[in-house]
Amino acid sequence: MIREIRLLGDAILRAKAQPVPEVTEELRALLPDMFDTMYAAEGVGLAAPQIGLGIRVIVVDPHDEATAPFALINPEVVATGAEKEKSEEGCLSIPGIRELVERPTTCVVEGLDLAGEPVHMEAEGFLARILQHEVDHLNGVLFLDHLSPIKRRMAISRWKKERAK
């Protein structure tokens, strides 16, 4: 089932999501909806707050042959590399806006899989960027927050102008 994606201005996007105490059947049943919603919006990642749920769950599909789509529960970025790169990012909660965002090119993420087992993932390139973006969502951070104040204001202004059409 495709869920409604919450848009910029919705308070849940700025709230810190709560850890999931245990992996339940109810939680596992949510994940197909999250994937369906992400694919319908042509995204590569989706965090539970983006569909109105204040829990620490993400789904990711970088659309590359080396990485199968996956979900992480309670993911945390535990380390990032020193090297950084600017690349264009967008967000399903801020449709139509894309900006250059600087992020570390590598990261280490830990969380739980669907069986509740620990996951340790070392990521680089596009996958590292997706993971950092989605974990940011769980902490109430949007990609616009990584921009300079002037660029952020301009992007928000463009977004509001587009929404008004």
Residue of 103, 105, 145, 144 lying closest to 125 (CA atoms) = 105
Cβ(127)–Cβ(119) below 8 Å: no
Helix (H, G, I), strand (E, B) or coil at 107: strand
The C-alpha atoms of residue 45 and residue 54 are separated, in whole angstroms, by: 16
Return the structure tokens found at 92.
Answer: 């399903």
Q: Active site residue: 83, 89, 102, 134, which one?
A: 134
134 is annotated as an active-site residue: yes
The distance between the two most distant Cα atoms of the chain, rounded to a whole number of Å, is: 47
Buried b vs exposed e over 85-111: b needs ≥16 C-beta within 10 Å?
eeeebbbbbbbebebebebbbbbbbeb
Are 112 and 118 within 8 A, CB to CB? Answer: yes
Pairwise CA distance, residues 22 & 37, whole Å: 23
Active-site residues: which are they? 134
